[in-house]
Amino acid sequence: MPNILILGATGYIGSALSQSLLRSGNRLVYGHARTPEKAKALQRDEITSILAPSLTSPSLINAIATHRIDIIVDVAGADKETFDLLNLVKKAGAERLENAQREGVLVPKLGFIYCSGTWVHGSSLLPVNDLMPVGTASAPLPPAELVAWRTGLEKEVLNARDVLDVAIVRPALVYGRSSAIWTSLFSPLLQAAQGQGEGNSASSAAVKIQADDDSRPGLVHVDDVASGFHCAVDKLSMIAGTGVYPVFDLQTSQEDMRGILGAAARELGWKGGVELVGAGEDLFTRAMCTTGNCSSGRAKIILGWTPRREGFVQGMGVFVRA
């Protein structure tokens, strides 16, 4: 039964992935916790916690050997910290191979699966796929500025294949469950709905939302993200060293931002109009409005990924109340 360490285990994607792996019964699941409170939360969910204040803490790195971790899944969403972490994981992977060579035995490489995102493709009306370069002069488009740093990290992960078995999984814009990433767009609608009423002039005004009217984001439900990473964990040793390019985009639909916000307004009870005034200069808002036209065919064929939660607008009544 392989041992899996999840970095970001208490987060949005990490918690969904942890439960997916536990339900399979085929994995021992460890989770990184930065505080004692987070460690207790993991233990309540039957995840073995590893307490360390940062991703580069000696206690976390030492735990890789102590607990005989087979695969590390990084869904922590860190930037500079992840670059430093990767260097330490590469060192741990190299030491594992060196020890095996001294003992004259063959051992599998330490596995490392990194969570990137489809925003690295940039905003495209034309189809893009996970075989295309990102962040280079030959890339079809530049990445969303907010996540431009991820392209360099992806390169470092791929270059670590001499000492690690690696994969990169790129979810599209995630929705479902808490949908915290959508708060900045949904909150004005909720506040307007709660404030409207007889004699309230606000009920006839349009709510102004900072978003691009022509945006068509690529989407994926958090449950399907978890199953995608689960598939990557299951197939990592099978694709490593085979020549398969280990990068996989996860997207199930593409829906227009106007339709998404219109559906959210209706389900929240807002009876007035909704005006999309543009993303402006805020990098996060601009990234949220990235038009995603990705293909997940390789994830389905190679990893065996079978998404089951398709359609954001269709299920909006459930999602806005989650």
Q: Which of 219-223, 247-251, 314-318 is the least confident region?
A: 314-318
Give CA–CA dist 150/291, Å, rounded.
18
Distance (Å, whole) CA 79 – CA 77: 7
- C-alpha 71/C-alpha 109 separation (Å) is 9
37-64: average pLDDT: 96
> Cα–Cα distance between 120 and 42 in angstroms, integer?
31
**Which of 271, 245, 244, 263 is CA-nearest to residue 311?**
263
Q: pLDDT tens across 187-237, in order? A: 999 999 988 754 455 556 899 999 999 999 999 999 999 999 999 999 999
Average pLDDT, the chain: 94
pLDDT digits (tens, 9 = 90+) for 105-157: 999 999 999 999 999 999 998 999 999 999 999 999 999 999 999 999 999 99
Please report which confidence band the pLDDT of residue 27 belongs to, taking 50, 70 and 90 as the band edges. Answer: confident
Judge whether residue 252 has pLDDT over 60. Answer: yes
Strands of the sheet with 253-254, listed across from one edge: 173-175, 218-221, 253-254
173-175 and 218-221: which strand pairing? parallel
Average pLDDT (252-258) is: 97
Predicted TM-score of the model (pTM): 0.95
pLDDT at 187: 94
